[in-house]
Structure 1
Amino acid sequence: MQNFRHFWELTLGTVIALLPLINPLASAPTFLAITEGDTPQRRHQQLRAACLYMVAILVAFLVGGTFIMGFFGISIPGLRIAGGLLVAGIGSGLLMGPGGDLTNDARDEAKAKRDVSFSPLAMPLFAGPGSIAMTIGFTSLATAWTDYVAIILGIVIVAIISYITLRLADRVVKIVGVNGMQALSKIMGFLILCIGIQFVVNGVLGILTDKEVIGAIRAAFQGR
């Protein structure tokens, strides 16, 4: 029973952490802009492919997170601090600025492409630096194969929510309006900022409670 509860807590935590970063509601105007001129069928086809690409990218970084950390000698607290700073920076940009979005040049380039499902939709609009850093950070929470399944399920749920939201993007933009989208971006930015800061706090606490670090500090003071 406890394992079952932990499974769904990890799944829900993944959804709560990733959804504000991917932020499909705030991405709705950009999605409509870069798929302008496409038929509804073509637009939905590219959106479906982009969501599948997003799942594949994030799962790849989740599975390969341990290898990446071992190869570069990155500790879990260090990963949490670095990822937290990156995520907090993205949240701060959304909170203080007009909203995180593609640049005009990137949007114009996307319009000229026949297929925008992988770039820029899947990457970097969906699976950007923040969501990738967050996904690699999930590696520190996974201790069994069921934990990986729970995190992957959370990623899939986020992809489904993103697909449904952006499939109704034209209606969402009309209902919410420009001011509503900006307000939503700032709310999401605040949530992302809080998540990033919490990642940094967890990383610092991980360093301060590490036995090797405590032993080194103790030895330094004793040497004096």
Structure 2
Amino acid sequence: MDTILPYALLCFTSFFTLTNPLGTMPVFLTMTNGLGEKERRHIVKRATIISFIILIAFTFCGQFLFKFFGISTNGFRIAAGIIILKIGYDMLQARYTNTKLKDEEIKAYADDISITPLSIPMLCGPGAIANGIIMMDDAHTWSLKVTLVAVIAVVYILTYIILRLSTRLVKVIGETGNNVMMRLMGLILMVIAVECFVGGMRPILIDLIQESRL
């Protein structure tokens, strides 16, 4: 229990911040402008389910991909740390998303925006996938693996609820409140990214020092 609780907290904080449903709200409202509540509910439900399936698939298949392509875990941690650091920095600047939609693009996405861009890359982007693979690598017991899957499920359930209530939440939180929350989550994400980067760099440096002494 002493190991599961901190691990679950770290998983929840990192995944919720990377999924960033609060930052996705303005873009979601823009893309679904003019649609009814029934259509919005269908889009959110499908997007969260697809994102969950994709993230779980990459989380469990990550180690196989490492072996297949000959990628080291430490190298991936460094790369993931850089990716997550960039996302955290953008959030610290209160940038909602890297995806910019024009009026004609919104119409093009209307048929299936639940997959692209809402699910990929907004709710399940490279940062979330990289974080899932790293967290699975740290889950050395079945209890931690179950905890990881449960936390991911909880995060996407919360994401579904937040996006379903997005029209009300935007009015309550306001633009200023949303920007403040974005910056706080971005700062937390940058700290996690630094820890991830250092965790991957440390064993590499130790190996280099040991080889230099031989």
Scaled by the length of structure 1, the TM-score of the pair is 0.87
Distance apart, 1:10 and its partner CA = 2.8
Distance apart, 1:214 and its partner CA = 4.4
Of 135, 157, 161 in structure 2, the residue corresponding to residue 160 of structure 1 is 157
Q: In structure 2, what is the Cα distance between the partners aligned to 1:80 and 1:46?
A: 33
Scaled by the length of structure 2, the TM-score of the pair is 0.91
- Residues 8 and 150 in structure 1, CA contact (< 8 A), matched pair in contact too: no
Q: Structure 1 stretches (4+) deviating beyond 4 angstroms?
A: none
| Count of residue correspondences | 213
- Residues 24 and 96 in structure 2, CA contact (< 8 A), matched pair in contact too: no
Percent identity over the alignment?
33
- Is 1:104 aligned to 2:108, yes or no? no
Q: In structure 2, what is the Cα distance between the partners aligned to 1:155 and 1:110?
A: 29
RMSD: 1.9
- CA 1:28–1:99 in 2, change beyond 3 Å: closer, same or farther? closer
Of 139, 144, 156 in structure 2, the residue corresponding to residue 142 of structure 1 is 139
**Which range moved further: 137-146 or 87-96?**
137-146
- Is 1:34 aligned to 2:47, yes or no? no
Q: In structure 1, what is the Cα distance between the partners aligned to 2:100 and 2:157?
A: 26
1:70 — aligned with what?
67
Q: In structure 2, what is the Cα distance between the partners aligned to 1:183 and 1:12?
A: 22
- Residues 27 and 101 in structure 1, CA contact (< 8 A), matched pair in contact too: no
1:222 — aligned with what?
none
- Is 1:217 aligned to 2:212, yes or no? yes
Q: Secondary structure at the match of 1:119?
A: coil
CA offsets per residue over residues 71-91 of structure 1, 9 Å max, x none? 122222111111001100111
- Is 1:184 aligned to 2:184, yes or no? no
Q: In structure 2, what is the Cα distance between the partners aligned to 1:101 and 1:190?
A: 18
Q: Which has more radius of gyration?
A: 1
- Residues 15 and 155 in structure 1, CA contact (< 8 A), matched pair in contact too: yes
Q: Please show how residues 11-26 of structure 1 align to structure 2 within 5 Å.
A: 11-26=8-23
Q: Please show how residues 108-119 of structure 1 align to structure 2 within 5 Å.
A: 108-112=104-108, 113-119=110-116
Of 73, 82, 85 in structure 1, the residue corresponding to residue 82 of structure 2 is 85
Q: In structure 1, what is the Cα distance between the partners aligned to 2:159 and 2:172?
A: 17
- CA 1:116–1:215 in 2, change beyond 3 Å: closer, same or farther? same
